[in-house]
Structure 1
C-alpha cells in the first residue's frame, strides 16, 4: 500500500501543475487553481501514511534531531510521507506563486520555468518567484501608464478632430470667411396634419 500511495501522490498533483504551466490563460485554470482545496487529496495520503505511526512521527518532529529525522525518513513509510509532505507544500506554494503572478502581470513564459523549479526543488522555485515578483508589479505599472497615455492621446485626437469638423462646417456655412459664425441648420419640414 505504501508504494501505491507514494506513486499516487504526484499523479494527484500533476494535473494542477499542467494547468498552471501549459494552460495559464484558460479561464478554467484560474477557477480550479484558485481553490486551496486542490492539495487535500495529497494531504489525505500524508495522513494515511503517518497515522499508523503517529507516535513515532510526533516524537521525531516535536524534538527533532538529525538521527531521529533520518530514522523516520529512512523507512519506506517515512520516505513516502516525506514525499507527500513535499508534494503538498510544493503544490500549495506553486499555486500561490501562480495566482500572485497572474495578479501582478508576471508573464506566463517567465512563470513556466519557475513553476518547474518549484516542482523539482520547491524552496528554490519559491526564491526564484520572490526574485521576479517585484518586476511583475513594475511591469503592470508601466502597462497601466502606457494605457493611460494612449487614452489621453486618443481623447486629444478626438477633440482635435471635432474642432477640425467644426471649423470645416463654419467655413462651409460662413461663405468661406474663415472662422465665421456657424451656418444655421435649415428649418425642419413638418407635415400639416390638420
Structure 2
C-alpha cells in the first residue's frame, strides 16, 4: 500500500512539474496544477495524516508522538514508519509544487523569461528551499524595477 501511494504522489507531482516548466502558461493549466496537482496532494496528505494520528493505519509506532509536541524524538517516532515517510514526503511534494507555481506566476508577472525560470523551478522541485532561495535572489531586481515603474505612473 505505501509503495503504491508513494508512487502515486510522485507521479502527480512529476506531471504537474512537467506541465509547469514546459507547457504554455494558460489559466486552465495553472488551475489544473493548483487543484489537480497541489489540491490532490493536500487531500492525500490530510487523509493519511489524520488516519495515522487516529491510529487507523500503520499502528506499529506511537501515532500520537507528533500531536503531543514536536520534538526530534517525536518526529523520529513518526517517521520510523512507512506511513510517516509517505505523509512527510507528500507534505514536501505539495508545498514545493505550491512554491513552484508561485515562482512561475511571479516570474511571468515580473517579465522574467522561462529560460531563467526553468532551472530555478527544477531546483525547487528537487530541493524546495534551495530553489526558493535562488528565486528570491533573482526576483529582487525585477521586483524593484516593477515597484519603480508602478510608482512613476
User: TM-score surpassing 0.5?
Assistant: yes
Q: Root-mean-square deviation (CA), in Å?
A: 2.3
| Shift in CA distance, 12/87, structure 1 to aligned 2, threshold 3 Å | same
The gaps in structure 1 that reach 5 residues or longer are 145-194
Residues 61-95 of structure 1: CA deviation (Å, up to 9, x unaligned): 55111011011112100000000000000001110
Query: What TM-score do you get using the length of structure 2 for normalisation?
Result: 0.79
Q: Please name the residue that 2:50 is paired with.
A: 51
**Greater CA radius of gyration, 1 or 2?**
1
Q: Distance in 1 between matches of 2:9 and 2:138?
A: 29
Q: Which protein has greater RCO, CA pairs closer than 8 Å, 6+ apart?
A: 2
Aligned residue pairs total: 140
Residue pairs, 1:120-131, within 5 angstroms = 120-131=126-137
The gaps in structure 2 that reach 5 residues or longer are 55-61
Q: Please name the residue that 2:13 is paired with.
A: 13
| Shift in CA distance, 141/63, structure 1 to aligned 2, threshold 3 Å | closer
Q: Please name the residue that 2:138 is paired with.
A: 132
Residues 9-56 of structure 1: CA deviation (Å, up to 9, x unaligned): 021122221122112xx253x432146323111112212322222245
1:77 counterpart = 2:74: no
Q: CA contact under 8 A between 2:66 and 2:78: conserved in structure 1?
A: yes
